[in-house]
Amino acid sequence: MTAAKKTRHAAQEPGVRTKLFIADETIGLGKINLLALLGEAGSISAAARQMGMSYRRAWFLLDSMQSGFRDPLFVTERGGSSKGGATLTPLGKDLIRRYRAHVALIDDQSADILSWMRSVQIDHNDD
């Protein structure tokens, strides 16, 4: 009897993922990028399209993130003749800035251990 060879995929690069917790909500890179795109595009639907997700999914993620804060991260205007839209508040802009600064600091502080981890990580392509 022969053992079936396992199908292996390329090993994931060592890294650090930053998640923040506020109230009962989790904030990570995806939600921050969505919030930033909302600010750049001025629209939830445009931000959703740029991230390859539905408007409904984008709204759910933004609303869940918003629920952890006392004040709004963004404000929306209904559609109609003015076409509606969304705008980041100062709090939303500050969250993006602070999150990205925190990630940059963590990435900088993690460089040594990540380099070491790359040097000792198994390479599935050696089979």
Judge whether 3 lies within some domain. no
Judge whether 72 lies within some domain. yes
Structure confidence at residue 1 (pLDDT): 46
Total of domains in the chain: 1
Strands 20-22 and 25-27: antiparallel
Judge whether 78 lies within some domain. yes
Judge whether 28 lies within some domain. yes
Structure confidence at residue 78 (pLDDT): 79
Judge whether 127 lies within some domain. no
Q: Is 83 left (phi over 0), alpha (psi -120 to 50) or beta?
A: left
CATH number, residue 84: 1.10.10.10
Domain assignment of residue 43, given as a range: 23-122
* Residue pLDDT tens, the chain, 127 long: 444 455 556 678 888 888 999 999 999 999 999 999 999 999 999 999 999 999 999 999 999 999 999 999 999 987 655 567 999 999 999 999 999 999 999 999 999 999 999 999 987 665 5
Judge whether 12 lies within some domain. no
